[in-house]
Amino acid sequence: MRELIGLIPLIPLLSSATLMLFAGHLSRFAIGLLGVGSVGIAAILTAKMGIDFLGNPEVFKVTLWTWMQVGTFSSDVAFYFDGLTLVMMSVITGVGFLIHLFSTEFMEEDVSYARYFAYLNMFVAAMLILVMADNLLLLYLGWEGVGVCSYLLVGFWYQNSANGYAARKAFIVTRIGDTLMALGLFLLFTELGTLDIQALGDAAKDKWQVGDSMPLIACLLILGGAVGKSAQLPLHTWLPDAMAGPTPVSALIHAATMVTAGVYLIARTHELYLFAPIAMIAVALVGLATSLMAAFTALTQHDIKRILAYSTISQIGYMFLALGVGAWTAGIFHLMTHAFFKALLFLGSGAIIHCLHHEHNIFKMGGLRTRMPVTFWSFMIGSAALAALPMTSGFFSKDQILLQAYQVDGIGPWLWFGGLVGALLTAVYSFRLVFVVFFGQVNTEPDKDTGWRMVIPLSLLCILAMMGGWIIIPVTQVFPLAVFEHPAHWVEYVSIAVPIVGVIIAYLIFLGGQLKVDVFTNSFVMQKLQQFWFSGWRIDWLYDQLLVRPYYGLARALKLEPVDNFYRLVVTISQTFNQWLSAGQSGQMRRYITSMVFGLIVLLAILVRAS
Amino acid sequence: MLMINLILILLIGGVVAIFSERLGADVPRKVALAVVIIDLIYLLIALSTIPQLETLQAPVPSDPETWLMHYSVEWIPAFGIKIELALDGLSMLMVLLTLILGAVAVSASWTDIKVRQGFFEANLLWTLAGVLGVFMALDLFLFFLFWEVMLIPMYFMIAIWGHENRGYAAMKFFIFTQASGLLMLVSILALVVIHHGNTGVWTFSYFDLLSAQIAAQTAFWLMLGFFVAFVVKLPGFPFHTWLPDAHTQAPTAGSVILAGILLKTGAYGLIRFAVPLFPQASMEFAPVALWLGVAGVIYGAILAFGQTDFKRLVAYSSVSHMGFVLLGVYAWNILALQGAVMQMVAHGFSTAALFMIAGSLQERLHTRDMREMGGLWQNMPRMGAIAMFFIVASLGLPGLGNFVAEFLVLLGLFQVDRLLAVIAALGLITGAAYSLLLMQRSFQGEPDETRQLVDFGTREMLTMAVMMTALIVLGIYPQPILDISRPVVESLISFSSIVTGGSL
Amino acid sequence: MNGSQMQALMPILMLSLTAIVLMIQASIKRDEKATWIITVVGILLALWGAGYARDFSQPVTILLQVDNWGLFFTALVLLASLVTVVLSQDSFSSEGGSKEEYYLLLVLSALGAVILIQSSHMASLLLGMELMGVALYAMIAFPKKGLLPLEAAVKYLVLSGCASAILLFGFALLYAATGELSYKGIGEKAALAYISNPLLVMAGTAMVTAGIAFKLSLVPFHMWTPDVYQGAPTPVTGFLATVSKGAVFVALARIYMDAELHQYESLILALSVLAAFSMLIGNLLALLQEDIKRLLAYSSIAHFGYLLIVLIALTGSEMASEAVTFYLAAYILTTLGAFTVIARVSREDQQKSQISEFEGLFWRNKIQATALTIAMLSFAGIPLTAGFMAKFFVINVAIQGSHWFLLSALVIGSAIGIYYYLRIIFSMSKTSGNDIGFRDRSGDITALLLTVLILMLGSWPQPFIAFAGGL
Amino acid sequence: MEGLNIPLNHILLIASLLFVIGMLGLMIRRNIIFILMSLEVMLNSAALAFVAAGAHWGQPDGQIVFMLILSIAAAEVAVGLSLVLQVQRRFRSLDMDSLDWMRG
């Protein structure tokens, strides 16, 4: 069975290749079957491996072949399987399967049906390779692979240039992070002589001391990669734009799996981070700042998918916070629950968009509670989990994060407080969404209802979003045991109460109308602030001014090849000489004689001078 | 003799192609394809009989008998000039690449050559012959001869079958390479004269000249002569300006050969001649060369980003990619050198394919201006998908050949100079920027539904499949290639007795 | 003078005999065909004579030096004359419609060249040079049509006369200083005279150099070249470029070596200046030239600059004399090849030597276009052609003599040169409206033979190098 | 003959003077006839130098060369004058400066 682990990414990959090569020869049904079935098989295989593992929790490694071996550098195509891998694989194949199934209905009318599933399958394969990789180079392969698939899927509807722009932005911004990560790999290899993740940990123990500068630099570089892929400050700007892709793609790639790869990466390399406490704090601070920034932004958006996108950014911020405070398990746990409820929310929004003629603006929706009951309940459950209302999956994971953040020496309470503010905002914006979209008057009539291929994934995800909190993830062997000392009870009570308060505030403002905030929000300062938040804190604008425009300007300035000017100058000089000299050839013989006389004088001068 | 035959087959094939035009306009291309494939098969059969290939005995650079093949016969004894050809792992890779891409080139211009097909195919075959000569010649005189002579048929290909501004482009190409070639000739002769002065023997043989004793100052200047010639061909910053023009104006097959093979002769020259002949001087010069390499990587990428002409963009991307080769060579450790070799091979395929796509677009749209393209995926989905493949290959997607190359080069460079590696790594980002822009402007965006365009047919798909397979294999299982070049690279490093920092 | 000496003079005798026969024939019956045949036969006999005389090489009186080296160039000059005769056959006509006298002049001019090559004495140098020159004036002015030949002839006559006067005056000064007129004599006495009267020796040397530099059209004595090249009928231009310049260079080399002039550093310096300027200015002048004959005139200026390097580096290298031999041979063959094609394409029409006239030549006459291409590549010094091996020799000699300054001038000049040689090739490869092929058997055969020789010399030079080494 | 014992240098000086005069003539004169005359002056200055040098060394060679120069000058002038006739006929002028059809 273990040897067959390679099949898990291979099957979606083969399916993808088949779909690309024989797209024209397959019926839509066959395409759907291949696309969904391949991920389904992967999911079943994963489940089998999971059951085996839970019965006999033994870590193993399967080497397929040597990828490259040059000098002392060697990297294999090898898979490593432990609890963490299992969790990630389960999320990818499980949630992935549901989203694939959902897609068959969502994309039903699209002409590029086969292309869609080809990309999606390829993504699943790449993502699996990412989490299964035994060494950082293979991980990097998956890492870049998912990036390309994300690019392809964001720009899936390439006919619209805006989508293409969003896709390119997504790829290039994450590439910046990827490059930092690549540099991190170079540094790790140069310092530790290997890229095998397990070997790295051992080598680090031999060569590094806690607090050294090398681990700090290396960890920061890896953090750079994680920040890019997980859309954290300051490289988060691509994710809201990436919503240009089909909604199931947003669910799978930009909510459940790919964007959490950064969390996985840091968790996977946590042994290195243990040598760099400053890097850990950096991770926590990045996470907290991102989660607050994104929460404020989500509050002001009115595109349903952008709200969810900012919410994703914010939630990943929580995961980073968890990693930064050493709550590895809690971080991964939140990763999993987030995958459930965020996929649920995205799919729900997909269903709405699907049924509402591709309407994205929440203020043009409303009253959908009765029109689309399944979707409504999905949203309710999803939002509850997102807001971390008690007993939902989100509650368990977020609570753990906040409590463990509180434990950190020194800044712990501040981190906790920041997290709480975020939690409050989360509750507000998520229920703002629910109240605006599903209650009130009907602004747009849906023209169809959700079919079974949408209902089943939604229902299953509802269950997971509700019950996911009780799953115990098998990562105890992976991470060092957290010294968990239960904080004072008031801390816990406050943590539980804050989301509920948030929901109430949202109700009062957006549904009940009891809380009149118009005067407040219409004030000049608040207007400006709202605009500021709406624009995503003008970070896009900043990058545009600082990087994009200068680069375009540079490219435009250099377009005509300034280096060639040198060669043109040489040519011009030669031509000028040619013209001068040619002008001398006037045809008048007396000039010729003069030239000869001149030559004679020169020769005489040279020769006689010497004598 | 086998190596001579390889060249002769192509030369004679060219003559046959010219005369075959009398049988019909479409005969020469078939002849050309047949000739290249025969040559390839001949080579493969011959290689399969070499016992060393299995054991991969490390060749000693100065001992020709340890090479895979060696052939030597007197030519101009007055100067000790011999017809001396030899093959080791590195040249074998290059020869294989040449012949495969040669076949691709014939296929690439299957339909776009409308006049004087016979002469065209002849020039193509003769260029290939010249390139083979460059890769196999180990007598410096003979090497120089091939180096220069291969340009003439290439010149004709651009000058006769090129696009609107072909005269200028062909001229620029020829003058750049010839002028720098003259410097190399002076260097070669100076080297030989010095060797003659020391030993009283006239010889142009690589194997003898490796041991030439040269004063440091002189060696530096001589090395510079070689360096300039090779870097112009590579092309490295700031000698690259001939390339965009030549590429843009050349017919498709010309671009394919130029980008796929001809540029590699520069890299090959650096690895084979410039550094081993003058190890000490090269070491001293390495920092400058490395900076030039980095400059090429970044500058090429920025300029590629600014272009509106499809082929020009790809041409500048070559400048950027070949910058990595320069970095790889002058980092001069086994990682970086292997990376450089990989880059030579992988870039050969990826760029050749992109030029072929550019050629197909020009044939169909009669323009290379990307402002007049857009949404072509809609019209030609197969071509779009293939373009996407090669574009992600060229931006260095792991799993494809180019990534292995760039990764190894950067990793190797990192051991030597971290700052430079960091700057060069920016090339990964800028590379993504121009690659995706290319895709966006040509294949994505608003489609023009009124266009009636023919998608890739079987011939094109087959050709592309060859290159795609090659890149995938290079990407996920590069070890065979690395193993072939490893002994060469290792021995070169040990021979030059240069120890550059790092853990290697 | 004994019989053996007479045998040594066989080529000269044969040419003289031909001249006499031609005169007699012309006075009996004017018949161009017959004249042509007699000329060809005469030159062939002289060629045979050159081979025959190899067994009798010796100094013939004080005036002439018959040796293998000279005989080789004699043969080369005769070959060039032969090609000129073939090309002249139907390329232009004189006042009266036929041109029997032209062949006579050609034979006389060739005779002058042979004498010049074999001269070892100032008097024979003078005789040879003037015989060659005066006949050439008339040849240039021979065509009845157009003003250009006449203008060219007058300019050449006056300027050449002036140069002769300078040369003579220089020799007079040397004679005054040394009391000798033979090269060897001058060489023996000059060193002594230099101590007592350096001014006289150096001024004389300077003027001799100037006179010869004119004939070789070295900068700044070069200005006549383009006008004469352009104005003269193309076969005559070819003759001038090969026979006249070749013979003068051989004479210069003889003076230089026999009179041991290389010991004077200031002379080396003067020659270096001439060479450097010739290489640079010659190439620059040719750069944008539209007339192919003028272009080749400028290119010839550069080429004699390259060749001069060999003389300058004479003492530093063991292979200088081979280098001179090889370079001159390569240059003469290449120039002949080029002018053969130009003569066949432009025919009588002076205007047809524009480069644009050569557009599409590849598609009109493959053989001649290929020949011109090879010739241009040879001029540019591309491997596999004679020109490359020639340049190879020059660079080799220059490196051995460590003349880095001249080498850089050579490299820059050659780099410029590539442009204009290539321009001609490019224009031939263009597709022009005029794609009608023309057939021209004698031209094709001549061009083909010369091309084969150029390629042979370039790709299999060993036999020739061995031969040249034995001269 | 003692009275005629002029130092060689003096004669050479005069010859040089003549030579320069001829040269200046070439540079200044525009009429072809005068140009040919200047040429004669230059050639004759060389001849004079030869004679003087021959006398200085007591050799006949100088005078022999003088004869040679005379005949050469004659030949040059013969061809030259015939060309002059042609020039007059075709260009309708003897102004050397008008013969500038070829340039560049």
pLDDT band at C6 (very low <50, low <70, confident <90, very high): confident
Interchain CB distance below 8 Å, B160 and C418: no
Report DSSP letters for C331-368, one per residue: HHHHHHHHHHHHHHHHTT-GGGGBGGGGTTHHHH-HHH
Cβ-based neighbour number of residue C226 at 10 Å: 29
Is D96 an interface residue toward A (CB < 8 Å)? yes
Report DSSP letters for C65-97, one per residue: EE-HHHHHHHHHHHHHHHHHHHHHTTT---TTS
Number of domains in chain B: 1
Distance, in angstroms, between D1 CA and closest chain C CA?
Answer: 21
Number of domains in chain C: 1
Distance, in angstroms, between B159 CA and closest chain C CA?
Answer: 7
Nearest by CB to A599, which of C210, C269, C284? C210
Which amino acid does the sequence have at A438?
A: F
pLDDT in the model for residue A182: 92
Chain D residue numbers with beta carbons less than 8 Å from the beta carbon of A588 are 96-97, 100
Task: With respect to residue B175, please indicate whether it lies within any of the assigned structural domains.
Answer: no
Residues of B with CB under 8 A from a CB of C: 75-79, 115-116, 144-145, 148-149, 152, 155-156, 159-160, 167, 170-171, 174-175, 178-179, 182-183, 185-186, 189-190, 193
Contacting partners of chain C (3+ CB pairs under 8 A): A, B, D
Nearest by CB to A592, which of C159, C266, C288? C159
Residues sharing a CB contact under 8 Å with residue B142, sequence separation 6 or more, in sequence order: B75, B81, B82, B83, B84, B85, B133, B204
Closest CA relative to residue A405, chosen from A476, A313, A504, A334: A334
pLDDT in the model for residue B503: 35
- Classify residue A443 by its DSSP letter: S
The whole domain housing B341 covers 284-504
Q: Could you read off the pLDDT of C72-91 as tens digits, one per residue?
A: 999 999 999 999 998 888 77
Task: With respect to residue B455, please indicate whether it lies within any of the assigned structural domains.
Answer: yes
Phi-psi region of D79 (alpha: psi -120 to 50; beta: other; left: phi over 0): alpha
Task: With respect to residue D3, please indicate whether it lies within any of the assigned structural domains.
Answer: no
pLDDT in the model for residue B496: 59
Give the residue from chain C lying closest to A596, CA to CA. C221
Distance, in angstroms, between B146 CA and closest chain C CA?
Answer: 8
pLDDT in the model for residue B498: 43
Closest CA relative to residue C275, chosen from C205, C338, C218: C218
Q: Which two tokens mark C41? A: 């036969």
What CA dihedral angle connects A192, A198, A201 and A206, to 10 degrees? Answer: -60
Closest CA relative to residue A591, chosen from D27, B334, B299: D27
Contact B297, B343 (CB under 8 A): no
- The residues that bridge with A135 in the sheet, in sequence order, are A196
Distance, in angstroms, between A373 CA and closest chain B CA?
Answer: 38
Q: Which two tokens mark B169? A: 């482009």
The whole domain housing D81 covers 31-95
- Classify residue A447 by its DSSP letter: S
Burial status of residue A576 (CB atoms within 10 A of its CB: 0-12, 13-18, 19 or more): exposed
Task: With respect to residue B161, please indicate whether it lies within any of the assigned structural domains.
Answer: no
Give the residue from chain C lying closest to D59, CA to CA. C179
Nearest by CB to C382, which of B148, B159, B167? B148
Interchain CB distance below 8 Å, D46 and C172: yes
Give the residue from chain D lying closest to C288, CA to CA. D104
Residue A379: alpha-carbon gap to chain centroid = 23
Question: What is the number of residues in chain B?
Answer: 504
Contact B353, B386 (CB under 8 A): yes
Contact A193, A203 (CB under 8 A): yes
pLDDT in the model for residue C456: 92
The whole domain housing C332 covers 264-471
Chain D residue numbers with beta carbons less than 8 Å from the beta carbon of C162 are 23, 26, 39, 42
Interchain CB distance below 8 Å, C294 and D104: yes
pLDDT in the model for residue A26: 83
Give the residue from chain B lying closest to C396, CA to CA. B189
Comparing B267 with A106, which gets the higher pLDDT?
B267
Q: Which two tokens mark C92? A: 């232009």
Interchain CB distance below 8 Å, D99 and A589: yes
Residues sharing a CB contact under 8 Å with residue A411, sequence separation 6 or more, in sequence order: A281
- The residues that bridge with D31 in the sheet, in sequence order, are D95
Interchain CB distance below 8 Å, D76 and C161: yes
Distance, in angstroms, between B287 CA and closest chain A CA?
Answer: 20
pLDDT in the model for residue B500: 42
HEC per residue, D61-76: HHHHHHHHHHHHHHHH
Distance, in angstroms, between C330 CA and closest chain A CA?
Answer: 27
Q: In the Cβ-directed half-sphere of C79, how many Cα atoms lie within 13 Å?
A: 20
Residues of chain A with pLDDT under 70: 1, 482-485, 515-517, 610-611
Chain C residue numbers with beta carbons less than 8 Å from the beta carbon of A587 are 227
Give the residue from chain C lying closest to B182, CA to CA. C411
Mean pLDDT across chain B, nearest whole number? 87
Interchain CB distance below 8 Å, B156 and C462: no
Task: With respect to residue D9, please indicate whether it lies within any of the assigned structural domains.
Answer: no
Task: With respect to residue D84, please indicate whether it lies within any of the assigned structural domains.
Answer: yes
pLDDT > 80? residue C470? no
The per-residue pLDDT string of chain D (104 residues; one tens digit each, 9 = 90 and over) reads 444 677 888 888 999 999 999 999 988 888 999 999 999 999 999 999 999 999 888 888 888 999 999 999 999 999 999 999 888 888 888 888 888 888 77
Distance, in angstroms, between D35 CA and closest chain A CA?
Answer: 10
Nearest by CB to B159, which of C383, C384, C429? C429
Which amino acid does the sequence have at A565?
A: N
pLDDT band at C96 (very low <50, low <70, confident <90, very high): low
pLDDT in the model for residue C169: 93
Chain A residue numbers with beta carbons less than 8 Å from the beta carbon of C269 are 606, 610
Mean pLDDT across chain C, nearest whole number? 88
Interchain CB distance below 8 Å, D79 and C168: no
The pTM is what? Answer: 0.91
Task: With respect to residue C81, please indicate whether it lies within any of the assigned structural domains.
Answer: no
Q: Which helix (H) or strand (E) holds A308?
A: helix A304-324
Distance, in angstroms, between A601 CA and closest chain D CA?
Answer: 12
Nearest by CB to C429, which of B78, B148, B156? B156
Task: With respect to residue D25, please indicate whether it lies within any of the assigned structural domains.
Answer: no
Task: With respect to residue B333, please indicate whether it lies within any of the assigned structural domains.
Answer: yes
Rounded distance between C-alpha atoms, residue A247 and residue A253, angstroms: 10
Burial status of residue B260 (CB atoms within 10 A of its CB: 0-12, 13-18, 19 or more): buried
Nearest by CB to A594, which of D27, D97, D100? D27
* Of A95-104, B65-74, B236-245, C67-76, minimum mean pLDDT range: B65-74
Nearest by CB to B76, which of C407, C418, C465? C465
pLDDT > 90? residue C1? no
What does the pLDDT average to over B478-502? 72
Number of domains in chain D: 1
Task: With respect to residue D103, please indicate whether it lies within any of the assigned structural domains.
Answer: no
Q: Could you read off the pLDDT of A297-356 as tens digits, one per residue?
A: 888 888 888 888 999 999 999 899 988 888 888 888 888 999 998 898 888 888 888 887
Residues sharing a CB contact under 8 Å with residue C305, sequence separation 6 or more, in sequence order: C218, C219, C274, C275, C276, C277, C278, C279, C280, C282, C409, C410, C413
Task: With respect to residue B259, please indicate whether it lies within any of the assigned structural domains.
Answer: no
Interchain CB distance below 8 Å, A602 and C220: yes
SS3 assignment, position A509: helix
Interchain CB distance below 8 Å, D104 and A582: yes
Rounded distance between C-alpha atoms, residue B25 and residue B432, angstroms: 42
What does the pLDDT average to over C117-135? 92
CATH assignment at residue D69: 1.10.287.3510
Is B480 an interface residue toward A (CB < 8 Å)? no
Chain C residue numbers with beta carbons less than 8 Å from the beta carbon of A611 are 194, 198-199, 201-202, 266
Task: With respect to residue D75, please indicate whether it lies within any of the assigned structural domains.
Answer: yes
Q: Could you read off the pLDDT of B345-366 as tens digits, one per residue?
A: 999 999 999 999 998 888 888 8
pLDDT > 50? residue B499? no
Q: Which two tokens mark A456? A: 């089943």
Task: With respect to residue D19, please indicate whether it lies within any of the assigned structural domains.
Answer: no
Task: With respect to residue C69, please indicate whether it lies within any of the assigned structural domains.
Answer: no
What does the pLDDT average to over C321-329? 89
The answer to whether D and B touch (≥3 CB pairs < 8 Å) is no
**Pairing relationship of beta strands B81-87 and B69-76 according to DSSP bridges:** antiparallel
Contacting partners of chain A (3+ CB pairs under 8 A): B, C, D
Q: Which two tokens mark A310? A: 């900012």
Question: Phi and psi (nearest 5°) for B72?
Answer: -150, 135
**Pairing relationship of beta strands C58-60 and B81-87 according to DSSP bridges:** unpaired
